[in-house]
């Protein structure tokens, strides 16, 4: 059958698998809610400058991967390739920096990048994103990292690793940059890589091609050239993480794919995912607000891929499906019974019980199949003959036990049976 289909590299999340998607999303965001982070919604598209200035002109994201288009007014707009820059734009526009600091925010939503679709990498993906803005405190860095770790732990993941480093700041990055540039000038690099090195030489360290990596064995590393203040900051972050019971692996060559990172930088990787092992990451970005025309305030945050984390959950064979959508199911047989079923389901839902019934004309066999599929633990079967006797049959779908209950007591009996 020919017809419309989702664009290449995108996907639909559908029941019943979507219950696992929701469970992962909600488990990753629960630690943020418990820590006092406030929820934010920002547009899926922004002025292109939000990303070109915020994410960085040298990044693959900006040079190759953005979905950019002119709207009907001739404005250049871009589908968000990540969530931090738009969140920072909202922070500046609404002058959140004038209130109590730090401003703690989180959001979740789709992002879009034009790249070659492969396992674990899509053109449309969902991220949980969090930011703590306006305060430069190593303890805050540690809180942010620990909240990410907590989300993975709450899912039951054990085969993930926290990679950690410091990328320095304005006090030490310039001198290190000179060292790195001098080192890179001696290497055999193609023209495009050299151009990239001129904008941000750190990006070359992140080049995955073997012929480039082979030449970087003794390249100078930022973590060996930190100023006294950034070294002290990094030491304090690590001490707080130790106090919080969070283990990490030193990763001096870690370079995130976005240009705005300074000081504490980290990535979460999962050993069961092969080449696309990253499931999240982030860091401190003390120059991002100023780059977007806002006040010169610091910030730290991370983004975690819901889709990637779902792959990690599958790799470890974990069962994270949300509880079944329905607890109680009502099976009416006949017109009068249908009226009772609709009313009873409405009452149960109002009382906080997840309830459903059958629609369309189905016999007992089809209706009971629907009850089983729903995941409900209990069902009420009501025929017109039962109604004449003033009862309904309450059935435990796990054991098959069944008993007659007066119609007036069905609501309470069902509510008690499902433990609500």
Instruction: Answer yes or no: is 83 a known binding residue.
Output: yes
Instruction: Answer yes or no: is 87 a known binding residue.
Output: no
Q: Residue 39 contacts by C-beta under 8 Å, 6 or more apart in sequence? A: 33, 105, 106, 107
Pairwise CA distance, residues 304 & 309, whole Å: 8
- CB-based contact 30:108 (threshold 8 Å): no
Choose which CATH entry (3.90.550.10, 3.30.420.40, 3.30.930.10, 1.20.120.1200) describes domain 17-171+227-316: 3.30.930.10
Instruction: Answer yes or no: is 253 a known binding residue.
Output: no
Sheet containing 378-383: give its strands across. 355-357, 328-333, 378-383, 391-396, 402-406
Domain extents in the chain: 17-171+227-316, 328-419
Give ∠ CA 105-109-111 in degrees, rounded to 5: 115
Report the pLDDT averaged over residues 371-393. Answer: 94
Q: Which of 176, 38, 178, 138 is nearest to 94 (CA)?
A: 38
Pairwise CA distance, residues 253 & 216, whole Å: 10
Residue 258 has pLDDT above 80, yes or no: no
Instruction: Answer yes or no: is 131 a known binding residue.
Output: yes
Instruction: Answer yes or no: is 127 a known binding residue.
Output: yes
pLDDT in tens, 150-175: 999 999 999 999 999 999 988 898 89
- Please identify, in words, the CATH class of the domain defined by 328-419: alpha beta
pLDDT in tens, 82-119: 999 999 999 999 999 999 999 999 999 999 999 877 76
Instruction: Answer yes or no: is 385 a known binding residue.
Output: no
Mean pLDDT of the chain: 91
Instruction: Answer yes or no: is 250 a known binding residue.
Output: no
Q: Which of 204, 174, 200 is nearest to 188 (CA)?
A: 204
Instruction: Answer yes or no: is 57 a known binding residue.
Output: no
Specify the pLDDT at position 386.
Answer: 93
pLDDT in tens, 323-351: 667 999 999 999 999 999 999 999 999 99
**Considering the chain, what percentage of its residues have pLDDT values greater than 70?**
95
pLDDT in tens, 275-318: 779 999 999 988 888 888 899 999 999 999 999 999 999 999 99
Instruction: Answer yes or no: is 350 a known binding residue.
Output: no
């Amino acid at each position: 059958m020919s017809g419309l289909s989702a664009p290449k590299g995108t996907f639909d999340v559908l029941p019943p698998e979507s219950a696992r998607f929701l469970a992962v999303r909600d488990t990753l965001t629960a630690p943020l809610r418990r820590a006092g982070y406030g929820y934010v919604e920002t547009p899926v598209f922004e002025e292109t400058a939000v990303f070109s200035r915020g994410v960085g002109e040298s990044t693959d994201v900006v040079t190759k991967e953005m979905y950019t288009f002119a709207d009907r007014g001739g404005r250049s707009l871009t589908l968000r390739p990540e969530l931090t820059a738009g969140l920072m734009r909202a922070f500046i526009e609404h002058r959140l920096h004038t209130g109590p600091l730090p401003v703690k925010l989180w959001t979740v939503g789709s992002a879009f990048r034009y790249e070659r679709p492969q396992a674990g990498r899509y053109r449309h993906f969902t991220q949980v994103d969090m930011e703590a803005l306006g305060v430069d405190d190593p303890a805050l860095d540690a809180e942010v990292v620990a909240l990410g770790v907590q989300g993975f732990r709450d899912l039951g993941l054990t085969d993930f690793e926290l990679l950690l480093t410091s990328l320095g700041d304005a006090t030490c990055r310039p001198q290190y940059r000179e060292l790195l540039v001098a080192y890179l000038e001696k290497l055999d690099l193609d023209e495009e890589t050299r151009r990239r090195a001129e904008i941000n030489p750190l990006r070359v360290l992140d080049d995955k091609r073997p012929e480039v990596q082979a030449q970087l064995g003794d390249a100078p590393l930022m973590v060996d050239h930190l100023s006294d203040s950034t070294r002290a900051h990094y030491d304090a972050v690590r001490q707080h993480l130790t106090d919080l019971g969070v283990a990490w692996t030193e990763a001096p060559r870690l370079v995130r794919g976005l240009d705005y990172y300074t000081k504490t930088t980290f990535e979460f990787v999962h050993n069961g995912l092969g080449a696309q092992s990253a499931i999240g990451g982030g860091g401190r970005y003390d120059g991002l607000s100023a780059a977007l025309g806002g006040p010169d305030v610091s910030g730290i945050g991370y983004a975690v891929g819901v889709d990637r984390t779902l792959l990690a959950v599958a790799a470890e064979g974990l069962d994270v499906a949300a509880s079944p959508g329905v607890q109680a199911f009502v099976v009416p047989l006949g017109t009068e019974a249908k009226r009772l079923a609709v009313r009873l389901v409405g009452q149960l839902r109002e009382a906080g019980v997840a309830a459903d019934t059958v629609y369309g004309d189905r016999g007992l066999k089809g209706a009971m199949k629907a009850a089983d599929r729903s995941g409900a633990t209990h069902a009420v079967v009501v025929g017109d003959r039962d109604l004449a006797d003033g009862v309904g049959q309450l059935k435990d779908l796990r054991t098959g036990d069944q008993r007659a209950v007066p119609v007036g007591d069905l609501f309470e009996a069902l509510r008690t049976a499902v433990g609500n």
